[in-house]
Amino acid sequence: MSLERALEDLSAGKFVLLYDSEGRENEIDMIIAAEFVGPSEIATMRREAGGLICVALHPTISKNFGLPYLAEVYNVASSKFDILTAVQPNDIPYDERSAFSLAVNHRRTFTGIIDVDRALTIQELGRVGRQAFNGTALDEFGKNFRSPGHVPLLRAADELLNERRGHTELSVVLAELAGVTPVVAVCEMLDTRTNRALSKEAAKEYAKGRGLILLDGLDVVAGFQRKEKNETSRDS
């Protein structure tokens, strides 16, 4: 089963290719659990995926870090800066809102953009994120990261796939199902030939050539719903 294979690969520190749906971005992201990210994984994502390298965070972790949505920051600051009202993301064609939060660098980085720097930032997000499951971690977050930076954070919806079914939510749910910390590096796969998103057919060929799994988001939704149903049955 493709979901089982994806869970095994993600827990083993491998990349998984994840498709959302035709009704959303209709894109494939290359994803990997943050705790396994090193400089070579950053290089692979920027060379072979080519999109924006971000980190998706479980809502519990985001809350315990005190992370806002970036749109919320804009709303608060718009009373002073009119431009922030003008650029509100109120016309996203595939969604009601954006998952973007702050962008950070680890405090031990130099510029923050080189492979070594981004790997450190992402790996440390995984480490500190693991701690944040157990309680408020604002102080720990501030000790380790500064903003603005070169690693955009994505805050998953509070109700996860019951509320939103973007790559952010799909990725952190997949990580939870795999038993790894739900802090996940994600990067859109682009096509240098068409200058558009990589097609599913091209992604299948890429996955086949590298021994990777291409997973449909609907499989993640099904796994999530089974998990919720089992938890409800145990509690009743």
Active site residue 29: yes
Does residue 94 carry a catalytic annotation? yes
Separation between Cα atoms, residue 11 and residue 32, nearest integer Å: 9
Q: Look up the CATH number of the domain holding residue 228.
A: 3.90.870.10
Is a pLDDT exceeding 80 seen at residue 19? Answer: yes
- Active-site hit among 105, 106, 124, 216: 105
- The one-letter amino acid at 221: V
Residues 100-109: tens digit of each pLDDT? 999 999 999 9
Full domain range(s) for residue 60: 2-235
What pTM was estimated for this model as a whole? 0.95
What is the rounded average pLDDT of the residues 37-58?
Answer: 98
188 catalytic, yes or no? yes
Helical spans, DSSP H, in 181-216: 200-210
Query: Which residue, 203, 209, 201, is CA-closest to 189?
Result: 203
Q: Are 22 and 217 in contact (CB under 8 A)?
A: no
**Residue scoring higher pLDDT (19 or 90):** 19
State the pLDDT confidence band at 83, using cuts at 50, 70 and 90. very high
Q: Phi first, then psi: what are they for 93, rounded to 5°? A: -70, -20
pLDDT, one tens digit per residue, over 128-149 is: 999 998 777 778 899 999 999 9
Query: Active-site residue 219, yes or no?
Result: no
Question: Would you say residue 235 has pLDDT above 70?
Answer: no
pLDDT at 213: 97
- Known catalytic residue at 150: yes
Shortest CA distance to 9 belongs to which of 220, 212, 218? 212
pLDDT at position 133: 84
Q: Is the pLDDT of residue 96 over 90?
A: no
Q: Categorize the per-residue pLDDT at 232 as very low, low, confident or very high, splitting at 50, 70 and 90.
A: confident
Domain count, the chain: 1
Catalytic residue among 4, 26, 72, 94: 94
DSSP letter string over 123-187?
Answer: HHHHHHHHHHTTS--HHHHHHHEEEEEEEEEEE--TTGGGT--SHHHHHHHHHHHHTS-SEEEEE
Q: Report how far residue 53's alpha carbon sits from residue 125's, in angstroms, rounded to the nearest whole number.
A: 14
Of 27, 54, 64, 219, the catalytic one is 54
